[in-house]
Amino acid sequence: MKITHEQLAQQLQAALGTDAVNAQANFRASHIVDGITPVLVCAPHSAEQIAAILRICSEAETSVVPWGGGTAMALGNPPRQADVVVKTTSLNRVIEHDHANLTATVQSGITLNSLQNALAPQKQFAPFDPPFAERSTVGGVVAANLNGPRRASYGGVRDLIIGMKVVLASGEQIKAGGKVVKNVAGYDMCKLFTGSLGTLGIITEVTLRVAPMPESNATVVVTGSLTQASQLTKELAASNLLPTAVFLANDFTDHSWWLSVGFEGFEATVARQLNDVALVAQRLGMNPEQFRAEKHQRVWQEARDFPLQPNRLIYRVTVPRASVMEIVNVVKSWRNDGQNPMIVVDMVMGTVWIAQKANVESAGEFPKLIALTQQRRGHAVMFAAPSELKSAIDVWGPAPPALSLMREIKQQFDPKGILNPGRFIGAL
């Protein structure tokens, strides 16, 4: 940093106003990033104020950490520095809802629940499924690329974003994409910023595809052995059924497994598919139970929130679907303090989430998990963990072949390295 903390605070207060810059110790302590307490927390009210913050911090060579709802701050490597936290939650307006074209343009600090409430009168919704939707902001969901259970049915975050506005490290404001679903002019910059974890710029506005609200939704939860669950999954894949999501999870109480199969659509179609799944499950000797309304919502809320459990070490493994059960069979035998890991699997997308106690023994499984997944053309990351377990490793695993290209992109967008320095792949 080229200037003192006091000088930095004075410059930011002059640009934003004193109410938007907070240096109080207790407030800064509530915005710790992987064990690092920021010097200042800024709460801008506009994209122009974010641009002013970044111009000042760039000139002072001061590190900046974007902060939405704070739900995903355990992702990534610990930053090398975390001087100024920039909270986007005051940018919380719905700018435009084009219900005829199924698009919405919103400021990045709006929470997902608030967006859903704004879309509901037109019987539409944003098909995002991030953890803790009541606090997750749209900008944070996009920056962290937080996909959820309905990804296989509605597409991932990258598929749903068609436009955005971003403030670069220099303070320059840029626009990517547009407000129509078909937009082929130039490079797709939206995909570049999606999942970049705030290392290339701060997202201030997002245009996304929305979907009609389904008439009905329900879930059948089937209980049985892992072998039975695997067979049921195969039969579902070979059938004409169209589930919205298929998730597998283990049960500690009796060592059984749950397979949750969700459906959305017209009531008659949902009811028929629920019954079809129940019949197949019974034929395999499994116990099906149908859930609707609040119980249905609770099943998928638990699946959504699972990847960001507090005070746990969470691994995310992605492999071809044919290899999912091999991974599960290896991991379920792990023991830590006498306990097996908690496992949740997206059976359609081939994503395996593994939750363990946050200790050195759990972190020691990472190299074995990397080798196991690489043998099956997949990859593993330490998705979330306390900072003390991440200090000596790269949570993203071995560097990808494209790392040199990623470094060049980072250099172009953030030449002074002030945005979330070190948190991304290869300590970018």
In this prediction, residue 335 carries a pLDDT of 84
Last residue of a domain, one of 272, 304, 336: 304
- Whether 400 maps to a domain, the answer reads no
The answer on 384 and 327 residing in a single domain is yes
Provide the Cα torsion 419, 422, 427, 428; round to 10°. 10
In this prediction, residue 213 carries a pLDDT of 97
In this prediction, residue 424 carries a pLDDT of 95
- Whether 407 maps to a domain, the answer reads no
* 131 neighbors 146 (Cβ within 8 angstroms): yes
The answer on 101 and 198 residing in a single domain is yes
Are β-strands 40-42 and 21-22 bridged in parallel, bridged antiparallel, or unpaired? antiparallel
Q: How many residues comprise the chain?
A: 428
Report the distance separating Cα 210 and Cα 104, nearest Å. Answer: 7
In this prediction, residue 184 carries a pLDDT of 47
Report the distance separating Cα 377 and Cα 359, nearest Å. Answer: 28
Q: Give the largest Cα separation in the chain, rounded.
A: 72
**Average pLDDT estimate for 138-150:** 96
pLDDT digits (tens, 9 = 90+) for 160-216: 999 999 999 999 999 998 765 554 445 578 999 999 999 999 999 999 999 999 999
Q: Give the model's confidence band at 422: pLDDT under 50 very low, under 70 low, under 90 confident, else very high.
A: very high
In this prediction, residue 138 carries a pLDDT of 98
The CATH number of the domain where 368 resides is what? 3.30.70
The CATH number of the domain where 249 resides is what? 3.30.70.3450
Report the distance separating Cα 356 and Cα 366, nearest Å. Answer: 12
Beta bridge partners of 33: 36
Percent of the chain with pLDDT over 90: 91
- Whether 397 maps to a domain, the answer reads no
Q: Give the model's confidence band at 337: pLDDT under 50 very low, under 70 low, under 90 confident, else very high.
A: confident
Q: pTM for the whole thing?
A: 0.94
- Sign of torsion, CA 81 82 83 84? positive
- Number of compact structural domains in the chain: 4
DSSP assignment string, 154-219: H--HHHHEEEEEEE-TTS-EEEEE-SSS---SS--HHHHHTTSTTSS-EEEEEEEE-EEPPSEEEE
pLDDT digits (tens, 9 = 90+) for 123-138: 999 999 999 999 999 9
pLDDT digits (tens, 9 = 90+) for 46-81: 999 999 999 999 999 999 999 999 999 999 999 999
> The domain containing residue 299 runs over which residues?
216-304
Beta bridge partners of 173: 167
